[in-house]
A and B are shown apart, each in its own frame.
Chain A
Amino acid sequence: MRWINTRPNKATQLALTLLPFVLLLIAYAAGSSLRLAENPNDKLLPGLAALGDALNRMALVPDPRTGENLFLADTLSSLGRLLAALGISTIAALITGMAVGMFPYVRSLFAPFIAVVSMVPPLALLPILFIVMGLGETSKIALIVIGVTPAMMRDITYRVMELPREQLTKAQTLGGSSWQIALRVVLPQTLPRLLTGLKLQLGPAWLFLIAAEAISSDSGLGYRIFLVRRYLSMDMIFTYVAWITILAVVMTFALDRLRIGLFPWSIERRDA
């Protein structure tokens, strides 16, 4: 039988899925114990127990100086920035993307502009944002918005423009106005793609968030990582990186479930 036709059964599939994760853990534990055997004070690859200890220290014990739970406080302030920025981006991308996709006048006006603006490296703008907007929340949120909106916007525009011409004609022959067609034909078929686009932009959004927090902040997951880097606290850095990854994975999963729950037709055959 050809390799392209052989498929794993359920149990094998699960085992294969878990394998890379397990291998990574084993490799880490092995590397860590090798280094620790050589030098018990090694900070580069702390043992799993040390990681657990760091998590415990950060997540469960209040900070002796402020009495705050740092882990929770960092998570909340990072998520607050991320969600505020993604909310703004999503709404802006949806409205502009649909307008550019639907109306030739708006397309002539904005499409080339958006294409050029999306080429500006957002991180290069960060100093400008700090100078203009100050070091507070605004500039961090603005960086994420600037970083992810153009891509989402163009994705929405493509989605609108790949709607079959026949559908738009049909809607017009049913008496629909531009507004009605936008509301009942274009918008519902764009929303699933918007959620997918949002999912794909989670990675860049985290990148910009951590970059902004690393440079100027007094709380947040990215801030903490770059703060403890000075003390070579690999135990805390690893814990935080793992936590950020888990947050991103959960958000991705939730967006997928949301899309399938809200738009059951979007997973069925598209050639209706």
Chain B
Amino acid sequence: MSEIVIDDVWKEYGDQIVLEKISLTIASRSFVALVGPSGCGKTTFLRLLLGEEAPTRGKITLDGRPLVAEPDADRGVVFQRYSVFPHLTVLGNVLLGREFQHSKFKARLMGAKRRVAIEEARRLIAEVGLAGTEDKFPAALSGGMQQRLALAQALIMRPKVLLLDEPFGALDPGIRAEIHELMKRLWHETKVTVVMVTHDMREAFTLATRVIAFERPRDRPEERERYGATLSRDIDIWPPRVAGAAINLDWDDLVFETEPGRDDPALALQPGD
């Protein structure tokens, strides 16, 4: 189980209020997409879930326990960039989590333990479609392959929650479609709750079970500092997607197109959607 409860969370930097009155319950095994215009605090919200930042007010619990105020192995993450380690090979990147876990002082595995971990890492590397690249350094991989690697690296720790910060935003459309398929499959197969920040409405509606929009209700220049962003829409995808179930329909076709260049849900969505 991995239910996340966010209870009346505010985030302020000095006088600047970034997020206000955020209350939300993210069900175990759901796939939540956070959308909204740039600068509306959705990445800040992800950083709160990740433990990089602590809320100014309110609290966040994971399975009923308050979140630890620093990143830990319960919460895996994939960023848009810099998610993998340039000095480690593909295999080394995926192994690293296991080495941290089983070798407290040297952070390196030897002998039989290493063989077991390598076996597991190779399976995972094949699972994300990178078989054959085990000995390459990330710089030799394309952007899409690096993100696949980042997913494998995060998933070897079997995190309860996987946090994605615009993970596919820098990829070409074709590559992005492929990695969406992978992401769906991984969500069905692993026991993970996913929270994804994205600019891309199509991506949000393609992958998520629930799409949540962040918006600043008051956004005049003089108001910007004293009023933060809050949740403006909370859309459950219908018919519901259930983790572990097969996907029978391609819902891509039912998703409306957004205006070119605009990703603001407030513009794209009308009440009643």
Contacts and interface: CB of A to CB of B under 8 A. Distances in A.
Nearest to A269: B139
B81 interface: yes
Given A180-B104, A180-B107, A184-B107, A268 B140 contact: yes
Interface string B48-72: 0010100000000000000000111
A268 B76 CA distance: 27
Given A170-B83, A263-B87, A272-B84, A184 B72 contact: no
B145 to A, nearest CB: 11
Contacts of B96: 171, 174, 176, 184
B97 A166 contact: no
A117 to B, nearest CB: 31
B79 A170 contact: yes
Interface string B74-118: 011101011111110000000011011100111110000000000
B18 interface: no
Contacts of A176: 96, 100, 107
B71 A166 contact: no
Given A176-B107, A184-B107, A265-B137, A167 B71 contact: no
Contact of A272 (B75, B101, B139, B153): B139
Residue in A180, A188, A270 whose Cβ sees the most chain B Cβ within 10 Å = A180
Nearest to B78: A170
28 contacts: A164-B81, A164-B82, A166-B79, A166-B81, A167-B82, A169-B71, A169-B77, A169-B79, A170-B77, A170-B83, A170-B84, A170-B85, A172-B72, A173-B75, A173-B77, A174-B73, A179-B107, A183-B106, A183-B107, A184-B107, A185-B85, A265-B137, A265-B139, A271-B81, A271-B139, A272-B82, A272-B138, A272-B141
A185 B100 CA distance: 11
B157 interface: yes
Contacts, number: 99
A175 interface: yes
B213 interface: no
A179 B159 CA distance: 22
Contacts of A188: 87
A174 to B, nearest CB: 4
Nearest to A175: B73
B107 A172 contact: no
B146 interface: yes
Nearest to B161: A173
A173 B76 contact: yes
B87 A174 contact: no
A4 B107 CA distance: 49
Contacts of A171: 85, 96, 100
